C-alpha cells in the first residue's frame, strides 16, 4: 500500500460536490477556490488543492511513519461518500447506520482542518511561554516546557483521535436538518467548512460556542444544494427548502469561519457574503441597543470609580 504523504485537509469526495457544472466536456472537473483576503478566484481540480504533507502522520521513535489516522479518516470519507450519493443527494431519510456515518464525518471535519491545528498549537505556545517564564523565575530545570513542546508536535493529531468518538456521539443526539437550496442560489464551502454558532453569545466576547450549549448549532454545507444543521432547540428535522436570503446568510457564515480560502461551484460571488453583520433590521436594532447598554455601563463604572 502506498504511503499517503500528501494528505487532503478537505477530502476530495467532499470537494467534488462543488465542481463547476459548466466544466467543458473532456476537461477535468474543477472548483473555484477564492483567497479569503483578496476575494480572487482560480479554477482548480479538487485533487490539487487543500493538501498538507504528513498532516495526519505520526512519527514513531525509530524513524518510521504511522499512517493509521490518515487511513481511518479515509475510511470515514469513503463511507460518507456512499451515504451522500445514495441517500442525502436524493433527499431520502437516513437510517441509523447512515446517521452515524454522517455524524462521524462531520465530527472529523470539525477537527481535522489547518485552522483547528493552528488554534491548538497557538494555545500550547502560550502555555509553553508561561511555563518557561515560571521555570526561569524559580530557577527550575526546563522539564515541563520541554515536555509540552514535544507534545505540541502531535497535539492536533491526538486531539482528532481523542475527540472523534465523543463529538460523533453528541451529534447523534442532536436534531438533524438538511437545508435545501432552491434554484435561486447555492451554498459555498471553505477550508474550515464545519463550525459552531450560538446566536445567544454574539453580544459578548468572553465565551465561545460549545456543543453542550442549549442554543448552539453545528453547520456545514455538503454540496451547492444541501447544507446540514445540527441543533438542540430548533425543532426542525428532515429536508427543508430555504430561499435566497437564508442561503446568503449561510454563505456569509461559511466565509466568516473560513481560514484562508472559500470555495464555490461558480466564479460569481455576492458582496453580502463578506459583510460583518447580516442585512436584518431586527439584528441591527438589537446590535445598536446592546452597544448603547455597554457604553452606558462603562460610563457608570467610570463615574463610580471617579467618585470613590
The whole-number pLDDT of residue 225 equals 97
Spatial separation of the C-alpha atoms in residues 222 and 79, rounded to whole Å: 14
Spatial separation of the C-alpha atoms in residues 122 and 141, rounded to whole Å: 23
Spatial separation of the C-alpha atoms in residues 39 and 16, rounded to whole Å: 21
Q: DSSP string of the chain?
A: -----EEESS-HHHHGGGS-TTPPTTS---EEEEETTT--EEEE-GGGSSEEETTTPEEPTTS-EE-HHHHHHHHHHHHHHHHIIIIITTTPPP-HHHHHHHHHHHHHHHHSSHHHHHHHHHHHHHHHHHHHHHHHHTT--SHHHHHHHHHHTTHHHHHHHHHHHHHHHHHHHSEEEEEEE-TT----EESS--EEEEGGGTT-SS----TTSTTEEEEEE-SSSEEEEEESS----EEEEE-HHHHHHHHHHHHHH-SSEEEESSS---GGGG-SS-S-HHHHHHHHHHHHHHHHHHHHHHHHHHH-
User: Which residues, given as ranges, of the chain have pLDDT below 70?
Assistant: 1-4, 278-291, 294, 296, 301, 303-308
The whole-number pLDDT of residue 202 equals 75
The whole-number pLDDT of residue 281 equals 64
- Which residue is it, cell 477530502? 11
pLDDT tens digits for range 181-201: 988 789 999 999 999 999 888
Are 176 and 99 a contacting pair, CB within 8 Å?
yes
pLDDT tens digits for range 136-149: 999 999 999 999 99
Amino acid at each position: 500500500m502506498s504511503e499517503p504523504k500528501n494528505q487532503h485537509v478537505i477530502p476530495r469526495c467532499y470537494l467534488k460536490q462543488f465542481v463547476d457544472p459548466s466544466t467543458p466536456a473532456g476537461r477535468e472537473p474543477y472548483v473555484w477556490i477564492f483567497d479569503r483576503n483578496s476575494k480572487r478566484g482560480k479554477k482548480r481540480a479538487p485533487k490539487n488543492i487543500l493538501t498538507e504533507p504528513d498532516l495526519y502522520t505520526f512519527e514513531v521513535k525509530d524513524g518510521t511513519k504511522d499512517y493509521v489516522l490518515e487511513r481511518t479518516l479515509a475510511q470515514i470519507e469513503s463511507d460518507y461518500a456512499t451515504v451522500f450519493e445514495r441517500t442525502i443527494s436524493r433527499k431520502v431519510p437516513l437510517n441509523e447506520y447512515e446517521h452515524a456515518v454522517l455524524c462521524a464525518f462531520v465530527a472529523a471535519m470539525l477537527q481535522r482542518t489547518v485552522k483547528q491545528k493552528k488554534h491548538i498549537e497557538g494555545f500550547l505556545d502560550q502555555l509553553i511561554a508561561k511555563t518557561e517564564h515560571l521555570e526561569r523565575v524559580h530557577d527550575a530545570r526546563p522539564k515541563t516546557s520541554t515536555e509540552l513542546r514535544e507534545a505540541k508536535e502531535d497535539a492536533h493529531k491526538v486531539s482528532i483521535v481523542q475527540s472523534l468518538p465523543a463529538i460523533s456521539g453528541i451529534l447523534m443526539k442532536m436534531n438533524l436538518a438538511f437545508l435545501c437550496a432552491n434554484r435561486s442560489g447555492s451554498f459555498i464551502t471553505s477550508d474550515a467548512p464545519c463550525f459552531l454558532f450560538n446566536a445567544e453569545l454574539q453580544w459578548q466576547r468572553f465565551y465561545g460556542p460549545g456543543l453542550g450549549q442549549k442554543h448552539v448549532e453545528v453547520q456545514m454545507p455538503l454540496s451547492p444544494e444541501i447544507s446540514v444543521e445540527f441543533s438542540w432547540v430548533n425543532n426542525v428535522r428532515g429536508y427543508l427548502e430555504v430561499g435566497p436570503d437564508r442561503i446568503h446568510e449561510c454563505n456569509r457564515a461559511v466565509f466568516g469561519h473560513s481560514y484562508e480560502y472559500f470555495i464555490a461551484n461558480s466564479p460569481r460571488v455576492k458582496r453580502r457574503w463578506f459583510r460583518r453583520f447580516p442585512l436584518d433590521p431586527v439584528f441591527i436594532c438589537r446590535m445598536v441597543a446592546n452597544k448603547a447598554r455597554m457604553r452606558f455601563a462603562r460610563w457608570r463604572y467610570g463615574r463610580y470609580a471617579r467618585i470613590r
